[in-house]
Amino acid sequence: MHDDNNRFPRLPWILLGLGIIFLAIGSYIGLFVAPPEALMGQVQRIMYVHVPTAWNALLALTFAFVCAVIFLFKSDWKWDARMEAAIEVGVVLGFLLCCQGSIWAKPTWGVWWDWDPRLTTTAVLVFAFLGILALRKFVEDPGRRAIWSAVATIIASVDVPIVYYSVRWWNSLHQLQSSPSTVSRQFWLPLRMNAFGILFLMTAFIMLRARVASMRLAQELVPPPAVGERV
């Protein structure tokens, strides 16, 4: 079987290397070169990983949603493998995001957790997609597994903006999103470097994971050997 998820076998490794280099340089600048922020001081330096993680987590889960929609229309297995990869990477990034947020929140807000819209939405998101990963583990038939998890992914993705706005009405404390346009130039470079670093790492992980998923699928879909045949 020709595997579309393995068309560029070297690319993920190149991206992985690039990602590590970008992340190392970006973090170095962020930690040692960029000046500390006026109000929050050194604690603010976590922004250089926190904000890029947030962008990329959202990007990975958006890609999972796109994969789910394409799979339901085209029924092509490669999109199922890509969706599985994107959900896993997105959940890991989302979990890291919550951890980094807690580390930042303790010295800044004085609490580990706060019921702020973005924080709560991220937590809900992580749980929703963990549920979908669990569903994939419990369904043995690959066809059903693919369709059901695509359906669940679409339903969970539609929920994200609703959760965000409902929690926002409910309670709010988080500062406005940081983006290169809201921070001054000295903070801009490490933020961009790390954003691309994590983007490369994420893409590489999704590609590698999709390849593994494709290989597993190929093994599952292969007809069982005839009786008496040597395996």
Partner 1 sequence: MLTAALRKELLLQWRSRAQFMAVFVFGAAALLLFSFAVGPVAEMLRQFSAGFLWLGLLLSSTLTLAESFHAEMENRAMEGLLLLPANPRALYYGKAIANWLQLTLLGIALIPVMVVLYDAGTTRIPMLILVIALGTAGLSAPGTLYAAMTAQVRSKQTLLPLLLFPLIVPALLASVKATSLIILGDPMNQMRSWIVLLASFDAIYWSLCGLLFGNVVEE
Nearer to partner 1, 18 or 135 (CB): 135
Q: Angle at Cα 54 formed by Cα 49 and Cα 60, nearest 5°?
A: 120
Residue 16 sits at φ, ψ, to 5 deg, of: -60, -45
Check the CA dihedral 154-147-133-70 and report its sign.
negative
Q: Report if residue 168 touches partner 1, rule: CB under 8 A.
A: no
The interface region with partner 1, picked from 21-29, 57-65, 88-96, 162-170 by CB under 8 A, is 162-170
Q: Report if residue 215 touches partner 1, rule: CB under 8 A.
A: no
The interface region with partner 1, picked from 45-53, 92-100, 125-133, 177-185 by CB under 8 A, is 125-133
Whether residue 96 contacts residue 23, with contact meaning beta carbons closer than 8 Å, is answered with no
The Cα 49–Cα 193 span in angstroms is 10
Q: Report if residue 134 touches partner 1, rule: CB under 8 A.
A: yes
Q: Report if residue 170 touches partner 1, rule: CB under 8 A.
A: yes
Looking at this protein, which amino acid is placed at residue 194? N
Q: Angle at Cα 88 formed by Cα 86 and Cα 92, nearest 5°?
A: 115
Nearer to partner 1, 139 or 183 (CB): 139
**Which residues in this chain contact partner 1 in the complex, by CB under 8 A?**
72, 120, 124-125, 127-128, 130-132, 134-135, 138-139, 143-144, 147-148, 150-152, 154-156, 158-159, 162-163, 165-167, 169-170
